[in-house]
């Protein structure tokens, strides 16, 4: 097991550990994910009644196994925008996944190859484009 940025990693994959408290980043405006510093953080967006976007950078093979966690606590749409050439679940390349029908929605995404993120877990309704 390796420790990277204070987080447990096995073969580059972040482990969900029910016995620890995860760092929470509270976001109130559009945000660009840092694929090195935001691993394993819970990024909480209070979109209020205003639409907000979280943007991912382009991923590489060395990013496989990284897990990113999101929560939308507002009534506005939270859109997660993929980087050029990357997709999330069944989205198009450089596609999106969004939630706008729930006042609380959560999403865990895991990088499974150099251009694909899959849904590792979620609550609420998420739609890909």
Query: Is there a contact between 96 and 66 (Cβ–Cβ < 8 Å)?
Result: no
- Please give the average per-residue pLDDT across 102-125, as a whole number: 92
What sign has the CA pseudo-torsion 31, 33, 37, 38? Answer: positive
| Torsion angle of the four alpha carbons 65, 56, 123, 49, in this order, in degrees rounded to the nearest 10 | 160
List pLDDT tens digits, range 22-74.
899 999 999 999 999 998 899 999 878 889 999 999 999 999 999 999 999 88
Kindly report, residue by residue over 81-103, the tens digit of the pLDDT: 999 999 999 999 999 999 987 77
Per-residue confidence band for 4, with pLDDT thresholds at 50, 70 and 90: very low
pLDDT over 50 (residue 2): no
User: Which of helix, strand or coil describes residue 62?
Assistant: helix
Give CA–CA dist 115/87, Å, rounded.
Answer: 6
Distance in angstroms (rounded) separating the CA atoms of residues 71 and 129: 19
Distance (Å, whole) CA 69 – CA 74:
16
pLDDT bucket at 13, cuts 50 / 70 / 90: very low
Cα of first residue to Cα of last residue in the chain, in angstroms, is 36
């Amino acid at each position: 097991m390796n420790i990277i940025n204070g987080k447990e990693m096995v073969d580059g994959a972040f482990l969900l550990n029910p016995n620890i408290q995860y760092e929470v980043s509270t976001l109130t405006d559009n945000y660009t994910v840092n694929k090195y510093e935001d691993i394993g953080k819970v990024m909480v967006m209070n979109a209020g009644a205003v639409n907000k976007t979280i943007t991912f950078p382009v991923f590489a093979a060395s990013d496989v196994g990284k897990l990113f966690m999101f929560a939308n606590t507002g009534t506005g749409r939270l859109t997660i925008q993929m980087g050029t050439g990357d997709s999330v679940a069944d989205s198009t390349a450089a596609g999106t996944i969004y939630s706008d029908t729930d006042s609380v929605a959560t999403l865990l995404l895991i990088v499974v190859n150099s251009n694909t993120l899959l849904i590792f877990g979620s609550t609420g309704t998420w739609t890909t484009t």
